[in-house]
Structure 1
């Protein structure tokens, strides 16, 4: 079967690899769609980061570069391994793509355990391939009313859901989201679904339009046209936002959050940074703000699926492009790196199916 394989920085190859099989307690999945994540872009430009370099196999997966990429994917059950009796062939599913020592599965904060990593980064196959075999523990069925292309966004929605939980935001609060890429937009969607007023700061007109058209933003501020801090103060009676979300990995965005979030407010950093930011930590100190990290998800897939299946979050408008596996670099990575003002979420069909629908 064909798969996208990461060898090194700026070296991703579409190759033929062996098809996986469903071992005991595993589910073989025909992959329908896989999203290109910002983490994939960081690996391509600055990596290997999460990907274990050649000569340094990951302690859980035992794999090293080259590895198959892709961790935001949906698909259909193709085969059930021995011991799996609660799913059916043909059922639609998504995967919580963790690579974790089995002794920690289901434990408290399992996402923070030693050597934690991700399928599609540290091995275990990946979503940018025709098939994948995954332990049943990490497979989540999706309801029939959730389309497979939308389901490919459940993984980044779970990232946003966990980040929202980390913020402690509640109904009636105001959130400032710095950056309207996929994670920023989905964070706004989760916040709106929980009764939070959302303000998004974004430069890209395409992403501004998406934020407005989808209704996930109550207010959108283009920092090239208006001062974000001044606008937030106007909208919050000079108090400042209750919470802030950094979703751009841009120094000025993080510093804007320090200034725009209220005293004793919370700022959640969602980005995976490829550089060390220059920050105004004096604002954080003098305002006694909390700066919190967030990584992945923790029991977040089921509630995220419920947000979609209940209609509280509509994922379809965030899908801006659908491409074939052969176009991964030219129409996928290049677009998101050099023309990101034209795209939001790009989905890849490893088999080419669905591209003309």
Structure 2
């Protein structure tokens, strides 16, 4: 008996058939480039990525519990800047010490750890050779009043390379007032990262107060996030990070941009797996892997919600999860357990692509 799979079914509970039984009728899965043990050889060897970039990508794919599967489990901890250190670490103050962030990623068997330049720089000599670093080079800090959606550079690509990073990560707030500047800055940074041999991961978020209408926040609509992904792969991100879509129809509800009825009637549906598959399709049909974020910690339901997110991502054709707050805002052993359970979704052969 596959105890990991049985545990996953137990956590899905009454929703087991909804998530595990769904078969997508939107994009045929045969059209997708799915994660596999030889994903780097099949996809990136034919690209313009250098041997050094291929080596670092392979280092990410071949580390931790998911090594050799083609899937990724990354621990992201940048909330100390993005949300304030107090709000992020108050539930578990040990993470004010950056070494514990690295320890959590290692003990949980993550493929890599994505965090700030300061965190990585503080412990680089001790851990850079033990787990792949993803150095986050820009952030939205919330000490400015009033708060605004403004990603600014906190470090250089050269510094990320010097501290031993395998990849750099950056965020663009597509749709925000500063998005043009962010696109230019990140494009230049990613070009330089590839020159130095590092992989690139882009947080493709949408931000604009105008994306909220009639009580709905279309910043997580499949059509808007899908287009953000398409912009991200155009910038030559090697991996796309995106929030799981919650609904659809941003372009039509807000009445802007360009859309087509088939986007909603044929290429997607209301099912979360189909909404996520639309995101995957916008990542060059999976040639660039989609990792979905885990979202905020809500307490008792975190494990169930994390498993559902992982099942949706995997069955849609995604490449894994980048899960932070649900893991580090609890005791370390519980955080390890949560991350391991998510990883079991990707290790489970019973859970296939819809």
TM-score normalised according to structure 2 size: 0.29
TM-score normalised according to structure 1 size: 0.29
Counting helix residues as a fraction of each chain, which structure ranks higher?
2
Structure with the greater alpha carbon radius of gyration: 1
Counting strand residues as a fraction of each chain, which structure ranks higher?
1
Q: Indicate the structure whose relative CO is greater, using CA pairs within 8 Å and at least 6 residues apart.
A: 2
